[in-house]
Copies of this chain bind each other. A is one copy, B any other.
């Protein structure tokens, strides 16, 4: 357990906004009761008596936020990606997810997942589990133990799934209620439940209505998929002919941000109406660039989202994304935006280092409250990065060293990690 007040010393860098980084070289970052209190180039006299963790020439950045990933898919990361979304779900995903009915298999798989998440750059995450209540609770136990702050969801699916993964509508609602009660009973400190209808094609209107009842009763947020792939968008048109656009098929049930904090993954094919509704409702977009490459979805118009003032964060989307490493997600976001600019639309400029860093910290962090910055009052999530193993012959300023991390960092550079002011065991 850390002290109520402690100080990290190092090269502190964080986003002020989308275009500007705050840099404090060899500065002091103060944590008080789990919150950031201030960043100082020299330590104020009144703070002198508190413990200082001197990280020398290391970089200190806010913890990274993964707005979208699938814990049960971690087992097949980097595998089976020679296909598009809907085929990929049938061929790889559903067969693997059905294994989590077996709690022993779930324990084996989720232990690997939780261990690797613990050692990763991620401090916050929105996580899909499977439809299985016991395995989902087990995952939540493991994430709580890992020390990250997460939203985890038992998945709902009552149509268009193989028999062994398809719930009856009332069963799905009842299991979700039981799961919520179980979670509340366990009194987790860092692990919260989130409603997780897989996506519109997997959930009947009746199930959506049931989920809305649970949402209102327990004030829960929601996590789902939106406009990822062309065939999926067409499918939703067929399934919900009454919806103005895909996102409207969630909104009709009150499950699209208006009165329920909502994160939607992908939004590759969101049209102007959908974007306007997301803006109006405060929906968070989880941009998952590697996934969108791997399952040939396309490239989301992130520049437009940013110009329109949407809430945008990054998602690894394991296992359509191959890695939980969010530095890689930042690099992929820049790269995808460049190809989009070059090949599709020269009006939407490529993303910058500043922008993707913002998205990976403060942008996605907003879904968790005051998270993703070192401004006073923000929850104290921090990463200490030792980049000395990445040798270079010339001097580099702090901003350049951060840029290099985006392209080159993996868990080896993480020297320490703090979540809400508590140090995470990286061993």
**B343:A298 contact, CB within 8 angstroms:** yes
A290-305 toward B: CB 8 Å interface, digit per residue (1/0)?
1001101111000000
Once the chains are docked, how many angstroms separate the CA of A394 from the CA of B112? 12
**A339:B293 contact, CB within 8 angstroms:** yes
- Inter-chain contacts of A290 with B (CB < 8 A): 335
Q: Give the contact stretch, choosing among A6-14, A235-243, A400-408.
A: A400-408
Q: Is A39 among interface residues, defined by CB-CB distance under 8 A? A: no
Contacts A296-B338, A344-B343, A391-B112; A408 near B353 (Cβ below 8 A)? no
A207-232 toward B: CB 8 Å interface, digit per residue (1/0)?
00000000000000000000000000
Which of A109, A339, A341 has the largest number of chain B CB atoms within 10 A? A339
Once the chains are docked, how many angstroms separate the CA of A323 from the CA of B335? 14
Q: Is A59 among interface residues, defined by CB-CB distance under 8 A? A: no
Once the chains are docked, how many angstroms separate the CA of A81 from the CA of B351? 11
Task: Give the size of the chain A interface in residues (CB under 8 angstroms).
Answer: 53
Q: Is A322 among interface residues, defined by CB-CB distance under 8 A? A: yes
Q: Is A105 among interface residues, defined by CB-CB distance under 8 A? A: yes
The distance from the CB of A109 to the nearest CB of chain B, in whole angstroms, is 4
Q: Please report whether the interface of chain A is mostly helix, strand, loop or mixed according to DSSP.
A: helix
Q: Is A392 among interface residues, defined by CB-CB distance under 8 A? A: yes
- Inter-chain contacts of A298 with B (CB < 8 A): 339, 342-343
Q: Give the copy number.
A: 2
Q: Is A89 among interface residues, defined by CB-CB distance under 8 A? A: no
**B105:A408 contact, CB within 8 angstroms:** no
- Inter-chain contacts of A82 with B (CB < 8 A): 350, 352-353
Among A380-427, those with CB < 8 Å from B are: 391-394, 396, 400, 403-408, 410, 412
Once the chains are docked, how many angstroms separate the CA of A396 from the CA of B76? 9
The distance from the CB of A96 to the nearest CB of chain B, in whole angstroms, is 8
A347-375 toward B: CB 8 Å interface, digit per residue (1/0)?
00010110000000000000000000000
Contacts A105-B393, A293-B335, A350-B296; A407 near B323 (Cβ below 8 A)? yes
